[in-house]
């Protein structure tokens, strides 16, 4: 079995590359260990808490005990299914702030400034504003990825935006357009009532091309001959075989599995590889390092009116919603229920937003446990640019062993300060007049949790991952010893091998990672095909004119 390009991983970036490469006439084989994405748990947007807790669809990774979070092990779900994590995620669509990408370029990822990536964001999406306003000139009109907005029927969605405005913050009609900062509608990768994963958007159309196919199996290592990647070894049906790449091998296996595969193939920190008896092909200390993520808290408030989704928190109502969705793809089942959002700055002197909000009209945990108090609502809130860095390392030289994942969360004093700000700013927003008709008592953290010390205790016990791991195969200049890939995604020190997924991010972006991961796949595809990048955009993003002296 051989093809021009062999891609490991049918996730967000892998599906996009399969589509673009096969569309251009190249032959592509995609290796994926997971199974089918068919079935209501994945395709029904409101069922999002199920697939990420099912071992059938998730690799089931966990962090090592996190020393600053009471030694808790935090879940690190990664999609093990067609569509990868885009098939098990919350379907929230956030491009990231313009300054994120300008920072990438400053960090050595030349050609990845906002002016460079905006044309790819436009190319990949078909945007549906749903009558809620927005910036059509900043958005795409005919890409494979449909981006829509929920109906925002529940009055709490508007109350959240109104409360933000009353507290003195900006409003924005489109945080993915000119102006990220402010309160407004949230966007989702949902189309015609279905989860619009990278598999639905890109892989299924790609597989209609005769030159694109998928191979089910577990990739065990990249085959490297005389310094060049020539194929991928995989196990399927208990047998080991090699799939050959005539042009290049591309790893798009996630920020956890891409560095693991590089290390198993002899590319990584030499001393660490030697510990596991792996022959060193390229000593790249950056492989597995620079691990970043977003943490968040759920700030929960009881609702005085029985208008929250809690009224559907019973088998009968869930059955009705499921049936309506199954037959008509409409109703509550057709949205992820994240329909209002906000991006704000934590303090004066912060140039662009560093706090994100997802608002939800129910008080519930990600694993589907509803708050005992019944009717309530919540804001998921967390800082966007933590200075804490962790690492992914090998547990052994065996491919079946999960890697060691240490995020090193909350390892800087500023992390604690930022999180305390998040809690206090959220309480102030929930205390505005817009919420007066609805706001009962604070469920979590609880009104008695006020001092820095008490808040720190709450954070240590309740902070959860937002499931945005990235950065472990950092992009940078070819002469940067800690970079893993160059700005074309080429692994430094090995020919014919690239990485293209969230592991190449030099720094985590502002918001959820599915959109920038797909964008990386889109952009690297052009590079793989030897095409010139799309012409730069000239659009100037909005930056708060008073950012240096005011917080809002």
Q: Which residues are catalytic?
A: 468
Supply 195's token pair: 């989860």
Return the exposure string of 434-444: e unless at least 16 CB atoms fall within 10 Å of the residue's CB, then b. Answer: bbeebbeebbb
Residue identified by tokens 């395709």 is 43
327 burial via Cβ count (<10 Å: 0-12, 13-18, 19+): exposed
Q: φ and ψ at 206, to 5 degrees?
A: -65, -40
DSSP conformation class of 462:
H
Measure the CA–CA gap between 4 and 22, rounded to whole angstroms: 10
Q: How far apart are the first and last CA of the chain?
A: 58
Matching residue, tokens 């989704």: 309
Which tokens is 33 given?
A: 């260990």
**CB-CB contact of 283 with 297 (8 Å):** no
Residues 321 and 331: beta-carbon distance below 8 Å? yes
331: tokens are: 């109703």
Distance CA(92)–CA(147), nearest Å, equals: 9
From start to end of 252-375, where are the E strands?
Answer: 267-268, 282-283, 295-303, 340-344, 355-360
Helix (H, G, I), strand (E, B) or coil at 165: helix
SS3 208: coil
Under a CB-based contact definition with an 8 Å cutoff, are residues 136 and 129 in contact?
A: yes
């Amino acid at each position: 079995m051989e093809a021009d390009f062999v891609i490991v991983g049918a996730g967000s970036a892998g599906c996009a590359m399969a589509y673009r490469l096969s569309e251009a006439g190249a032959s592509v084989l995609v290796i994926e260990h997971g199974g089918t994405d068919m079935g209501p748990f994945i395709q029904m947007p409101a069922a999002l808490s199920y697939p990420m807790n099912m071992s059938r669809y998730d690799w089931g990774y966990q962090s090592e005990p996190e020393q600053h979070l009471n030694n808790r092990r935090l879940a690190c779900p990664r999609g093990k299914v067609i569509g990868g994590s885009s098939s098990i995620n919350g379907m929230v669509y956030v491009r990231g702030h313009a300054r994120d990408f300008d920072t990438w370029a400053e960090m050595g990822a030349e050609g990845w400034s906002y002016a460079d990536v905006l044309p790819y964001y436009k190319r990949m999406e078909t945007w549906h504003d749903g009558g809620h306003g927005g910036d059509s000139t900043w958005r795409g009109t005919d890409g494979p990825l449909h981006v829509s907005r929920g109906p925002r029927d529940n009055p709490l969605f508007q109350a959240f935006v109104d409360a933000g405005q009353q507290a003195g913050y900006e409003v924005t009609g489109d945080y993915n357009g000119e102006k990220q900062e402010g309160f407004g509608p949230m966007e989702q990768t949902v189309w015609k009532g279905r989860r619009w994963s990278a598999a639905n958007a890109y892989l299924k159309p790609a597989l209609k091309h005769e030159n694109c196919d998928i191979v089910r199996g577990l990739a065990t290592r990249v085959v490297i001959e005389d310094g060049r990647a020539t194929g991928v070894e995989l196990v399927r049906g208990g047998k080991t075989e090699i799939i050959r790449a005539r042009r290049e091998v591309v790893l798009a296996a996630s920020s956890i599995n891409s560095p693991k595969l590089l290390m198993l193939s002899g590319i990584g920190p030499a001393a660490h590889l030697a510990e596991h008896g792996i022959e060193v092909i390229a000593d790249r200390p950056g492989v597995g390092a620079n691990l970043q993520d977003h943490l968040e808290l759920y700030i929960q408030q009881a609702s005085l009116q029985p208008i929250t989704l809690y009224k559907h928190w019973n088998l009968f109502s869930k059955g009705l919603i499921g049936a309506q969705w199954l037959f008509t793809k409409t109703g509550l089942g057709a949205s992820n229920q994240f329909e209002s959002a906000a991006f704000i700055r934590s303090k004066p002197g912060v140039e662009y937003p560093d706090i994100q909000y997802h608002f939800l009209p129910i008080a519930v945990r990600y694993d589907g446990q509803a708050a005992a108090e019944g009717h309530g609502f919540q804001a998921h809130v967390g800082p966007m640019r933590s200075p804490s860095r962790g690492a992914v390392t090998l547990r052994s030289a065996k491919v079946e062993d999960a890697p060691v994942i240490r995020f090193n969360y909350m390892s800087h004093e500023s992390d604690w300060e930022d999180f305390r700000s998040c809690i206090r700013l959220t309480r102030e927003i929930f205390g505005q007049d817009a919420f007066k008709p609805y706001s009962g008592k604070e469920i979590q953290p609880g009104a008695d949790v006020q001092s820095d010390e008490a808040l720190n205790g709450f954070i240590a016990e309740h902070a959860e991952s937002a499931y945005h791991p990235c950065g472990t195969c950092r992009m940078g200049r070819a002469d940067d010893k800690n970079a893993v890939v160059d700005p074309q995604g080429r692994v430094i020190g090995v020919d014919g091998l690239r990485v293209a997924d969230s592991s190449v991010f030099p720094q985590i972006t502002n918001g959820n990672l599915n959109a920038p991961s797909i964008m990386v796949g889109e952009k690297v595809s052009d590079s793989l095909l030897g095409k010139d990048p799309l012409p730069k955009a000239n659009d100037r993003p909005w930056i708060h004119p008073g950012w240096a002296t005011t917080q809002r």
